[in-house]
A and B are shown apart, each in its own frame.
Chain A
Amino acid sequence: MSAQAGWPASEPVTLAVEGLHVSFRTPDGIVRAVRGASFEVQAGATLGIVGESGSGKSVSMLTLLGLTSAAEVSGTALFRGRDLLAMSEDELRRVRGAQISMIFQDPLTSLHPHYRIGRQIAEAVRAHEKISRAAARSQAVELLGTVGIPRASQRADDYPHQFSGGMRQRAMIAMALALRPALIIADEPTTALDATVEVQILQLLQQVQREYQTALIMITHDLGVIAGMADTVTVMYAGRPVEIADRRTIYRSPRHPYTRGLLGSVPGARGAIKQRLTPIPGQPPSLIRLPRGCPFHPRCPLAMQHCREEEPPLLEVGAPGQRSACWRAAELDEGEHGLLFVPQQMSGEVSDVREGGR
């Protein structure tokens, strides 16, 4: 890939994914969860991947780590020059946790309820490094301190249920940092948290990233979460990236109707008291029976005949480094996001839901 916007060209590329396809065989048919995802992230940089349920954002990440065993996978994923998708299970195990860490949405299900927090972090260290229990324990305490747990040496002896939601997520970040990974993948790390706690956790992620020069991939369904921290944003829909651009460009002059629709759906524009939102009508398509042509066309106000026949490729348009998979991307100049989607009356939504039903 050429000309990545917003990144200094000198930083080494930590992860470069090219043409990733993931599908699952199910009794209902083949679920085409990821259909050609390409992206890269450099050391010290943050890539935001945005999409709704079923857009393929989480499946892509799990596949890179070898956690989708039943899937049919193709493509390449070069992590510091080595292809993750071609690695044996043994090789992958040495990468997972040590060089690539993952932080999940719900820390309560990722932490074992019967073991003390400090011990769980120490185990993660000892799984990859030959050090004594005592040394691992003191490392765990130090890490808990780093992520802002007060009285870390005492709190290390607590069980997960004794931590609040925000503190559990801090503990997960401590565990993710334990082996100083080159890449952290955070899958909706703040979705289960309140806004005031979310801000604290996002700050912490940025702080550790600066300190360790870690590459960070932030997966989220909420464009608001990464608005302050992503260097580059990839928007996914129906298993494919539909728009890629640097942060400011994505929010200020998006070139895909879906990105614009997402921006208009987010509540919270100032002066919005009792104002109608401008939702995207209908719902995401079934990944078993994708619509012909552009998968977004049934929900798109700009759809024309060509969109129903041929799926648009991801092409450069607009700002440097910006790419959009839309036949009409060039017409989408800067302007009000809301103008594209109008607040629908209920009768309009009825017909859309009908189309979307199974």
Chain B
Amino acid sequence: MSEGSPAPSGRPELLRLTDVTKYFPVGRSLVQPRGAATIRAVDGISLTVEPGQTLGIVGETGCGKSTLARCIARLYPLTSGQVVFDGLDITAMSRRDLRPVRRDLQMVFQDPFSSLNGRRRVGSIIAEPLIVHKAVPRTGLRARVQQLMEMVGLNPEHYNRFPAEFSGGQRQRIGIARALAINPKLLICDEPVSALDVSIQAQIINLLADLQAELHVGYVFIAHDLAVVEHVSDQVAVMYLGKIVETGRAEAIYQAPRHHYTAALLAAASVPDPDRAELRQAAALSGELPSPADPPSGCRFRTRCPAAQQLCSEQEPPLASTNGNADHQVACHFPLDRTEAMR
């Protein structure tokens, strides 16, 4: 099988999104008595993922990150734009044509309680993709499922148990085993650890890292928490109100953020350290998230930005390279310079 397709940049690409948008119409209803509006959940997103690498997508509630995940997996049809996966344009593929693609493109969901069928045994849950894709002969099913359970740190003897007999962390391991059953090339993880206890979160993050090293699978890792993404990501994209506001190598994003929103997110992250926690409270971002049905003119972050000026309300800043570094892109008229960003 081909290891991604050749790309304009010359690097191999597993996934390329070009100008992807997803709008939801909001009709007349009790909630919206004023009539039809459009929620611009994902508004012109372009990104790439290399084979075996991790792209972390970070943003707060309502920024469109989960909608984006569902667009990539083609669980939603796009409003416009293009999704190329492993050299194939899957933007407009039919369900039937998508089926073989889904072999290589799997999802892990946030809630390990609602994403597993409680009436089926764990063995049968993990075996399902193997049966659907006829990946293993019936006689080999049990051996393969038990091998997968072992791989994600579950006891293979628990093959016949029901999901309710497992803890949250173990259920998330079941979800991961199911997603990896047919050796996908890309795993989309939508907040895979946010429902878990802290000590278990760390186990799952390490497990995902180990599996990537072993299986060379690419990840799109979606989280609201910059700190979680830091431990798994090669590339990071920060989203705000449907747009990417900053993207680049993880080192650049964490060590020298250039967008004021990225800097605010980093400052707001909770840390188990009394001194830094006090700094955190001094750096609170003011205001509320504007409605994605009626985003501010110009730069969408300007209503909460400490550096906003007249220009920001008039012109939307494009996502552009900074410091001649093609990898690090920021959408801001007045980005933080390197020295300000170094903290």
Contact = CB atoms under 8 A, between A and B. Distances in A.
Interface of A: 52-53, 161, 164-167, 194-200, 202-203, 206, 221-225, 227-229, 247-248, 251-252, 261-270, 272-281, 283-284, 343-346, 349-350, 353-354, 356-358
A151 to B, nearest CB: 12
B165 A262 contact: no
Interface in B49-107: 60-61
Nearest to B54: A274
Contact of A194 (B60, B228, B281): B60
Given A52-B198, A273-B233, A353-B170, A268 B271 contact: yes
Contact of B268 (A166, A198, A280): A198
A126 B274 CA distance: 40
A166 B268 CA distance: 15
B264 to A, nearest CB: 6
A326 to B, nearest CB: 17
Nearest to B166: A357
B269 A167 contact: no
A265 B201 contact: yes
A341 B226 CA distance: 24
29 contacts: A161-B31, A194-B224, A195-B270, A199-B268, A199-B280, A199-B281, A222-B198, A227-B271, A251-B272, A262-B198, A263-B272, A265-B202, A267-B201, A267-B205, A268-B226, A272-B230, A273-B251, A277-B205, A277-B206, A279-B202, A279-B203, A283-B167, A283-B170, A346-B151, A346-B153, A346-B210, A350-B155, A357-B165, A357-B170
Contacts, number: 175
Contacts of A200: 284-286
Contacts of B166: 357
Given A267-B230, A279-B199, A195 B269 contact: yes
A197 B288 CA distance: 8
A307 to B, nearest CB: 19
Interface string B141-165: 0000000001101110010000001
Given A227-B271, A273-B230, 19 more contacts: A194-B60, A195-B224, A224-B269, A228-B281, A265-B199, A267-B202, A270-B254, A272-B227, A273-B251, A273-B254, A274-B231, A275-B231, A278-B202, A280-B202, A283-B199, A283-B200, A346-B207, A353-B154, A357-B158
B199 A224 contact: no
B270 A274 contact: no
B262 to A, nearest CB: 12
B199 A280 contact: yes
Nearest to A276: B206
Nearest to B261: A196
Contact of B277 (A224, A269, A280, A357): A224
A274 B200 CA distance: 18
B250 interface: yes
Given A165-B61, A196-B285, A267-B230, A247 B198 contact: no
Nearest to B225: A195
B274 A247 contact: yes
B234 interface: yes
A132 B113 CA distance: 47
| Chain B CB within 10 A, most for which of A166, A266, A354 | A266
Given A265-B202, A267-B205, A228 B280 contact: yes
A263 B60 CA distance: 24
B277 A227 contact: yes
Interface string B118-161: 00000000000000000000000000000000110111001000
A302 B283 CA distance: 39
B45 interface: no
A52 B233 contact: no
A267 B203 CA distance: 11
Given A165-B61, A195-B225, A343 B206 contact: yes
Contacts of B233: 273-274
A227 B272 contact: yes
Contacts of B61: 165, 194
Contacts of A281: 203
Instruction: Report, nearest first, the 7 A-B pairs whose CB atoms are least far apart.
Output: A268-B227, A228-B277, A224-B270, A279-B202, A227-B277, A277-B202, A194-B60
Contacts of A349: 153, 203, 207
Given A195-B224, A196-B268, A273-B251, A261 B199 contact: yes
Contact of A274 (B207, B232, B283): B232
A227 B281 CA distance: 11
Interface in B20-37: 31
B179 interface: no
Nearest to B285: A196
Interface in B239-294: 250-251, 254, 264-265, 268-274, 276-278, 280-281, 283-286, 288-289
A259 to B, nearest CB: 10
A350 B148 CA distance: 12
Contacts of B151: 346
Contacts of A198: 268, 270
Contacts of A199: 268, 280-281, 283-285
Nearest to B203: A279
Contacts of B206: 276-277, 279, 343-344
